[in-house]
Structure 1
Amino acid sequence: MLVWYVAYGSNLHAARLACYLRGGRPDGGAQDQPGARDRRPPRRAVATALPGTLYFAGRSRTWGGGSAFYDPAGRGEVPCRAYLMTLSQFSDVAAQEMGRSPGTDLDLAPVLATGRDELGPGRYQTLLHVGESDGRPLLTFTASWGVAGAELNAPTRPYLRTLAAGLAESHGWGPWRTAGYLATRPGAAGHWTPRAVEAALG
């Protein structure tokens, strides 16, 4: 079975996603990933967007600051990148994001039937079915809470740089547009200014 994994955070950057597929540590990160059972690259990657809000909350084990989450009930639009991959690849990427060991395929029946499936209370443990493309489901994962119930936390410089690389790679965004977007997301706003983000991007 093939599915579209819709990434909105650091996995916008193909090299970062590759750490979840092939194994390894992302540039600027502090944690190694074991990788997936199927280590091949995604079959396709396309730029897309979802209605809602990107926000930063919690504390990332890899990056040290707030992690990016998606609130589908929020206002605005979130630039994303959809990767066409096998169910086992998607399951293993999701497991690593959830802090679990990869190796077990997810049961997609609940999320495909209802649009949402909470596999646990923690980060990235809520699956969302956000549409279809070419007859394949568009799937992503986020936290069970929305931005209103989140412990907002500012992202670190290495994390912002990875997000920026992904936005440039997938959407062709330049530094100033990227800085204006990232600095105004909940969690980053008030801690980062567009000018400071642009400087951090180098």
Structure 2
Amino acid sequence: MAITPGSDVWYISYGSNMNQERFRYYIEGGTPPGSTKLHQGSIDQTPIRESRPVIMPGGIFFGDHKSLNWNAAVSFYDPNLPGEMPAVAHRVTQKQFSDLTLQEMDRVPEREPDLDMGRLLRDGHLKVADGWYGEVRVVGHIDGIPAVTFTGPSDASSVRGRPPGLAYLKMLATGLQNNFAWSPERAARYLANRPGAKGTWKARPLAKMLRANAGGAGNPKNHKSHRNHKASGYDTRPRSRHTRVESGASTRATPEAAPGLAALRRGMGPVSRRPAQTRVTPSAGKARVSRGIPPHTRIPARASGTRQGVSAERERGL
């Protein structure tokens, strides 16, 4: 069976879909603010169950594909790049992820067969097409549920790269600011140093542009969705706690390993800026606490060929 009814996956978004309000258009349909592209939406209109910030091994690069929607390059995921990648995990149904992948390739879900999710979850990867976002991968597990994403057919070392446009960088920065509570300066340092952007974009000028954009067109809080976002329980407040997904055997995160996530879901106030870090190690599966960096849950992934994540002390640009 291509789709298992009632089964969920975590969709790992690392580009414009880190912006939760924008991602909703892939589920509900419509044209996002600032875009000219009409999204068909998913056949399965189940509300998104949850979204949470995550850390992935590897990083993004801006490929040699030019997006007609953004009129410039967009991001792709390479698990073998050094460092770690901030992303957002959206818990959706298998059908919703299948429809999302088809829409990213400019296909209409009603006219296309579903992705073979059974094969994807069994083999860990699925080639849907030769080009744009045609490589679908299982990249880990979160709370025992598969985490999946899609990327291009090439890695960062095998493409020439093309710089992204300002509008796309603003959208990515909005996702980083809303989910990780990053400042415009931190988001600019991260984005300007990614392969494809480096050499064209400089961190300081980009930070000024992002700061000027704060509260402007790139911020989803300033737009009303065509549906009431409160009705679906969507929380777009800035966050600083996140889940870490990395290479190794699958481990289920324990409640004590992610103390801030439950608090955020209950609508409590902002967490402290630099509380203790929490990690779940692949071997023992027990929490290990160290001081001085934001907390996250370390959750091993099943994807092959993925380099081990590095410690937060060694991250570059995060």
- Normalised-by-shorter TM-score class: over 0.9
Please report the RMSD computed on the Cα atoms of aligned residues, expressed in angstroms.
Answer: 1.3
Letter in 2 for 1:42: I
Is the 8 Å Cα contact of residues 43 and 99 (structure 2) preserved in structure 1? yes
Q: Which has the higher contact order (CA 8 A, sep 6+)?
A: 1
Counterpart of 1:81? Answer: 88
Q: 1:167 aligns with which of 159, 176, 183?
A: 176
Q: Is structure 2 residue 82 aligned with structure 1 residue 46?
A: no
Letter in 1 for 2:67: S
Q: Which moved more, 1:36-45 or 1:155-164?
A: 36-45
Q: 2:40 aligns with which of 34, 38, 55?
A: 34
For residues 183 and 139 of structure 1, the distance between their equivalents in structure 2, rounded to whole angstroms, comes to: 26
Counterpart of 2:158? Answer: 149
The two structures have a TM-score, normalised by structure 2, of 0.61
Counterpart of 2:218? Answer: none
The two structures have a TM-score, normalised by structure 1, of 0.95
Which stretches in structure 2 are left out of the alignment for 5+ residues?
A: 1-6, 213-318
Instruction: Give 4+ residue runs of structure 1 displaced > 3 Å after superposition.
Output: none
For residues 151 and 31 of structure 1, the distance between their equivalents in structure 2, rounded to whole angstroms, comes to: 27
Shift of residue 2 of structure 1?
0.7
For residues 192 and 178 of structure 1, the distance between their equivalents in structure 2, rounded to whole angstroms, comes to: 12
Shift of residue 25 of structure 1?
2.2
Shift of residue 102 of structure 1?
1.6
For residues 23 and 197 of structure 1, the distance between their equivalents in structure 2, rounded to whole angstroms, comes to: 31
Count of matched residue positions in the alignment of Structure 1 and Structure 2? 202
Q: Which moved more, 1:166-175 or 1:35-44?
A: 35-44
Shift of residue 72 of structure 1?
1.1
Counterpart of 2:28? Answer: 22
Give matches, 1:58-73, under 5 Å.
Answer: 58-73=65-80
Q: 1:98 aligns with which of 98, 105, 112?
A: 105
Give deviations 1:38-78, integer Å, cap 9, x for gaps: 23431001110111120112111211111110011211111
Letter in 1 for 2:17: N
State percent identity of aligned pairs.
38
For residues 43 and 121 of structure 1, the distance between their equivalents in structure 2, rounded to whole angstroms, comes to: 31
Structure with larger Rg:
2
Counterpart of 1:121? Answer: 130
